[in-house]
Amino acid sequence: MTPWDLFSIGAAGALGALARYGVGVAVARRTSLAYPPSTFFINIAGAFLLGLSAAHAASNPGIQSIEKNVFQIGFLGAFTTFSTFTVEAVRLIEDGEWLRCGVYVGGSAIVGLLACALGFHAL
């Protein structure tokens, strides 16, 4: 891995983090709750984009390492967030929101898998 590769991954990660923040704020403004809708939307969008990117990289082996390193690891790695997802799930449990937590966790897993598959087969 070259210094340029590392820089590219880091720059893409910075853009992914900024995009995550911007999308999270936009979704929170349009819903009555700051979480989990924003994290749910971000993670589902990221799952779709990762599936789309994986399919694209698989059919274009010449750009596979660039797409994987820069877009998948850098941008999407910073854009999506499992850690925020888990903290929000724990907060829902602590608040006694068991049903909402179950819908959030189960829905994130099921819809995330479907979004990734849809992205993968969209090409």
Rounded to an integer, the average pLDDT of 46-63 is: 88
- pLDDT reported for residue 63: 75
pLDDT at 37 over 80: yes
pLDDT at 33 over 80: no
**67 vs 105: CA distance, rounded Å:** 29
Average pLDDT of the chain? 90
- pLDDT reported for residue 35: 66
Determine if residue 62 is labeled as part of a ligand binding site: no
Give the global pTM: 0.86
Q: Count of alpha carbons within 13 Å of 9, Cβ hemisphere only? A: 13
Residue spans per domain, the chain: 3-120
Rounded to an integer, the average pLDDT of 110-115 is: 96
Determine if residue 77 is labeled as part of a ligand binding site: yes
Query: Tens digits of per-residue pLDDT, 60-102?
Result: 877 767 778 899 999 999 999 888 899 899 999 999 999 999 9
Query: Tens digits of per-residue pLDDT, 15-24?
Result: 999 999 999 8
